[in-house]
Amino acid sequence: MSAGFQRTIIARAIALLDDEGTWCRHTIARTRNGRPCLPWAATSARYCAFGALLRASFEICGDRAQAQVLASNCEAHIATVLGLNHRLSRINDRGDRAMITKILREALSLT
């Protein structure tokens, strides 16, 4: 995947997690009323770190399977450039939104 694509996806994921109300833990995405859902669902409103990468990827390509590939590639890239030892979902569920957005911003600056 090109660096430009990765930058676009990471930047959009950051925008999706821009405030506390759009971030979640322990599931990939949630509706406004807190129910678990898929990140590409029209009703999705809150995302974990990986869910935000999935949503951003889906917005770009419009295909669920391809979005999963793009998001996974972005996650691997983030782990590589930052030297992370854990998946984003684990970091997300044990940390807070500020930590997640810091990780994504750092990765964006190095991409």
Distance CA(19)–CA(97), nearest Å, equals 8
Give the residue, 95 or 57, on which the prediction is more confident: 57
pLDDT at 7: 95
Question: Could you tell me the two tokens for 33?
Answer: 């009323």
- Position 5 confidence tier, pLDDT thresholds 50, 70, 90: confident
pTM: 0.94
Q: What is the pLDDT of residues 11-20, one digit of tens each?
A: 999 999 988 8
Share of the chain above pLDDT 90, in %: 85
Please, what is the Cα angle at 107 between 85 and 75, to 5 degrees? 55
Q: What is the mean pLDDT of residues 74-90?
A: 92
In contact, 48 and 28? CB cutoff 8 Å: yes
Phi, psi of 45 (to 5 degrees): -140, -15
Whether the CA torsion 81, 86, 89, 95 is positive or negative: it is negative
Gap between the Cα atoms of 32 and 102, Å rounded: 24
Question: What pLDDT digit, counting tens, does each position of 16-46 carry?
Answer: 998 889 999 999 999 999 999 999 999 999 9
**Is a pLDDT exceeding 70 seen at residue 1?**
no
Q: Report the mean per-residue pLDDT for the chain.
A: 94
